[in-house]
Amino acid sequence: GRKLNLIPVPGGGGADRVRTRRASEEDGKPPWPGLVDGQRSPFSGTRMGGAKRSGNSSPLGSGGDEVVIFFIHGSMGHMQQFEHQILYCVSKGWTVVAFDAYGCGESPKPYDWDAYSHEEQFADLKAVYSMYKGRRNFLVGHSYGTSMALQLCAAMGGDGCMSGLMLIGPGFGPSHYPSRSVKIFRNPVILLQLLAPLLRRGFVQRALHSETLERKTVEHQRLVERIAAKQGSNAMHICKSFYTQMEWVNPETIQQVEADVIVVVGEGDKMLPPDNAACLADLLRKQRPQRETDLYVLSNSSHQVMQELPIEVNKLLDAFVLRTLKSRKV
């Protein structure tokens, strides 16, 4: 089975058991999660890279956990982009499951074209959900991860355990996604490698708000540096394989989503503009009038809104989960 760099955090573990990057910088110990090969997880009793699609028995899941929050990062992203939200959910006592998709973050990166196909990536996601799902499950997706979350909800919603989706900086097919940006990855890998520095700078400029890019605060400076460094670590052979095989969710699949939805987008998002989020919210309301769909456009933020405005996004997530748990009996 395929291994993924994955962290399952049982509910009630406490935020004090989570090692943040800042704490790591202050005391000199390795940060989380899995930045060093074979490193012990910051979460007690959990080892990195433990998820296999073939399915080992899990200490979590099997319907035993009351609330489970799944985090699904975007294309060529990584779970650390949800660091603030993961810490917050753990502090609330909710079970958290986050992972690096195959080829991303600290997960394996073999030279295998088919390994990064949509079918393989989606099979991994379904396996993670099936292994760790609880009684009430929430999916938090970002960018392309919102498309994967919608597809997962449509495919697995019949299990009666899917309570809600938080879609951050979303897109959908056939036209509401950055198709022109993706086309560049049709070029040969050797050319993409030469273009990598330009692609990295372009992503940073489009993914972050102008105020963040000015680096007026220490947090903004750290965020710009971290995003630039992570983008620079993406291998072009994986990017080419991933982007040429990705499949954005379509309106027909969206119609099958049986869960409440909250859509969040940065007002300065240049990757997937707020108009995309508004169109998705309208589509969800039209196709599923029996379900709630809320749209929030946050100022002074862009595509990485959950990193630029973590407190605001955490508050929205908290209110959404509590409201959904109260109003929906699953």
Q: What is the pLDDT of residue 224?
A: 93
pLDDT above 90 covers what percent of the chain? Answer: 68
Of the pLDDT bands very low, low, confident and very high (cuts 50, 70, 90), residue 57 is very low
Q: What is the DSSP letter of 6?
A: E
Question: Looking at residue 41, what is its pLDDT?
Answer: 36
Q: What average pLDDT does the chain have?
A: 85
Work out whether strand 3-9 and strand 95-100 pair parallel, antiparallel, or are unpaired. Answer: antiparallel
Q: Any bridge partners for residue 298, and if so which?
A: 266
Over residues 26-35, the mean pLDDT reads 40
User: Does the pTM of the predicted model rise above 0.85?
Assistant: yes
Both tokens assigned to 204: 């940073």
Beta-carbon neighbour count of residue 201 at 10 Å?
Answer: 13
Q: Looking at residue 62, what is its pLDDT?
A: 44
Residue 203: enclosing H or E segment and its boundaries? helix 189-207
Q: How confident is the model at residue 40 (pLDDT cuts 50, 70, 90)?
A: very low
Distance CA(306)–CA(76), nearest Å, equals 17
pLDDT tens digits, residue range 164-207? 999 999 999 888 887 777 889 999 999 999 999 999 999 999 99
Residue 47 has pLDDT above 80, yes or no: no
pLDDT tens-digit readout, 237-277: 999 999 999 999 999 999 999 999 999 999 999 999 999 99
Q: Which residue blocks in 51-188 are alpha helix, DSSP H?
A: 83-91, 118-132, 144-156, 179-183
In single-letter form, the type of residue at position 278 comes to A
pLDDT at 30: 40
For 99-133, what is each residue's pLDDT tens digit? 999 999 999 999 999 999 999 999 999 999 999 99
Contacts of 138 (CB under 8 A, 6+ apart): 67, 68, 69, 70, 163, 164, 165, 166, 320, 321, 324
* CA distances (Å), origin 36, targets 20, 30, 39, 52, 109: 15, 7, 5, 20, 15
* pLDDT band of 308, cuts 50, 70, 90: very high
pLDDT (0 to 100) of residue 65: 64
Residues in the chain: 330
Alpha-carbon torsion 109, 114, 115, 121, what sign?
positive
Number of H helices, E strands in the chain: 13, 8
142 backbone φψ class: left, alpha, beta (φ>0; ψ -120 to 50): beta
Q: Distance between CA atoms of 159 and 217, rounded to whole angstroms?
A: 45
Picking from 5-14, 264-273, 294-303, which range would have the lowest pLDDT averaged per residue?
5-14
- Distance separating alpha carbons of residues 53 and 294, to the nearest angstrom: 34
Closest C-alpha to 314, from 328, 300, 292, 298: 298
Mean pLDDT of 159-166: 89
Confidence of residue 230 (pLDDT cuts 50, 70, 90): confident
Helix axis angle, 118-132 relative to 144-156, nearest 10°?
60
Q: Rounded CA gap, 143 and 124, in Å? A: 18
Taking CB atoms within 8 Å and a gap of at least 24, the contacts of 319-325 are 320/138, 320/164, 320/166, 320/260, 320/262, 320/294, 321/67, 321/69, 321/94, 321/138, 321/164, 324/138, 324/163, 324/164, 324/260, 325/67, 325/136, 325/163
Determine the pLDDT at residue 20. Answer: 41
Question: What pLDDT is stored for residue 36 in this prediction?
Answer: 30
Instruction: For residue 95, give both structure tokens.
Output: 């079970």
pLDDT of residue 18: 47
Q: Taking 60 as the threshold, does the pLDDT of residue 13 lie above it?
A: no
Q: Residue 229: its pLDDT value, please?
A: 86
Q: State the pLDDT confidence band at 160, using cuts at 50, 70 and 90.
A: confident
